Amino acid sequence: MPVRDAFGLTLSGATEGGFASYGRAVRELQCFIGDPVASIDGALAQDPGFVMAHVFKGYLFGLATERGATAIAKACHEAALPLAANAREQAHVMALGHLAGGRWHEAGRILEDITIDFPLDAVGLQVGHQIDFFTGNARMLRDRIGRALPSWQSGMPGYHAILGMQAFGLEEMGDYGRAEKLGRSAVEIEPRDGWAQHAVAHVMEMQSRQRDGIAWMRANPEAWTRDSFLQVHNWWHLALFHYDLGEIDEVLALYDGPIYGTPSAMALNMVDASAILWRLYLGGVDAGHRWAALAANWPKAGFGDYAFNDAHAMMAFVGGGLEAPARALLETQVEAMRGSGDNAAFTRDVGHPLTLAIKAFGEGRYEEAVRLIRPIRAIAHRFGGSHAQRDVIDLTLIEAALRAGEAALARALTAERSMSRSDSPLSALLSRRAAELSEN
């Protein structure tokens, strides 16, 4: 008898023992806890012909946005190709091949079709959701999950993860009330769901509810930090609330503690570290030795693989005053734009001009930073990330306009920010500075 999961989906090549390890890996990914790689390796050790175990491992590495990890994703795809598989599993193998080959959009489309036919395919939904995040596709972040949600019911394994993903998609589409409700429901069901925890934090960030956000993150940190590989990002969200309030000592304490107190060479963690230090840099805060320690790790993740990462690497090189790796990064981006994968467009459309702008800002060429950033603001989602993450682009533009003495533009940009984030102390501070510039 073939092994089937809780939703009746057949898992070719699996035994009950291998399936148990696979199920553990899926749950770990749904909560962003534990070591899903170790769990899936356990499944493969028991069942080398378990096609979805190979695919799942490939997805884990394919979503890491690092060159070394992508090589492992390609190896997983090669291992899965000759194995027995049903039509749904064959489609997953194809999606993994596209992801490992840098064809993010095509992988996302195949996963879309899989989950239209099989809305209870939890792995297909989650990997598709992550691809939507990495490609900045806010509508599909919402709608990929929204299409499947009617097939899910409370009590089903992993239901919390579906609610958490739907919450994040609603938030990215500006539906904050429903997003917060679903995110809170998900955390109530499964307090260890780091993605749902972060979806609610996003709502509060976008609504400038700093005190609510701090209370939300501080209420039960044990649940979302213990053994969580999303914890650095969630600590980053807490730091953002303190940053907006001007509580710099709190931000630095979080950086020196859970965000980067233990230096990481994982791109996803370094992005958060760069992003918070760059915000401080914009405000004239001297981060001292922190930049050098962070910048030293960025080359390990590789350049030219994912444009969003490249921009954050440049922040570290500028902050650390490192010219050689900054030049190497720009040269690699030029090569990346000649590539065949989707990152060529990510880099060409947004990543390269933004990375140049960050370097220009660091060199005091503020007019050049303004010139480079203004055309990409409306299309910045194309290189991935969330609204909260891409806010650093607007902050850099505003600070560049202020320092360039472009009073009218600074006044316009700060008025715009005050409209969208009316309760933000940072918005008020920037508006005051723009007004003072106009008076002088």
Question: The CATH number of the domain where 73 resides is what?
Answer: 1.25.40
What's the pLDDT tens digit per position in 92-143?
Answer: 999 999 999 999 999 999 999 999 999 999 999 999 999 999 999 999 999 9
Establish if 15 belongs to a structural domain.
yes
- In percent, the amount of the chain with pLDDT more than 90 equals 96
Establish if 50 belongs to a structural domain.
yes
pLDDT for 300 equals: 87
Establish if 216 belongs to a structural domain.
no
Residue 316, pLDDT > 80, answer: yes
Establish if 2 belongs to a structural domain.
yes
Per the CB < 8 A criterion, the answer to whether 74 and 93 are in contact is: no
- In percent, the amount of the chain with pLDDT more than 70 equals 100
Helix 352-362 and helix 307-319, axial crossing angle in degrees, nearest 10: 10
Please, which pLDDT band fits residue 408 given cuts at 50, 70 and 90?
very high
Establish if 224 belongs to a structural domain.
no
Cβ contacts of 329 within 8 Å, gap of 6 or more: 303, 304, 310, 313, 314, 317, 355
pLDDT for 27 equals: 98
Return the bridge partners of 33, or none: 228
* Nearest in space to 255 (alpha carbons), one of 245, 238, 163, 246: 238
pLDDT for 87 equals: 98
Residue 351, pLDDT > 80, answer: yes
Establish if 368 belongs to a structural domain.
no
Establish if 128 belongs to a structural domain.
yes
Return the bridge partners of 10, or none: 4
Q: What is the DSSP code string of 102-169?
A: T-HHHHHHHHHHHHHH-TT-HHHHHHHHHHHHHTT-HHHHHHHHHHHGGG--TTSTTHHHHHHHHHHH
Establish if 3 belongs to a structural domain.
yes
Total structural domains in the chain? 1
pLDDT for 438 equals: 82
Helix extents (H) in 320-378: 323-336, 343-346, 352-362, 366-373
Q: Is 268 exposed, middle or buried (0-12, 13-18, 19+ CB in 10 A)?
A: middle
Name the pTM for this structure. 0.96
Residue 85, pLDDT > 90, answer: yes
Residue 436, pLDDT > 80, answer: yes
Amino acid identity, position 97 = G
> Residue 2 is part of which domain span?
1-136
Please, which pLDDT band fits residue 1 given cuts at 50, 70 and 90?
confident
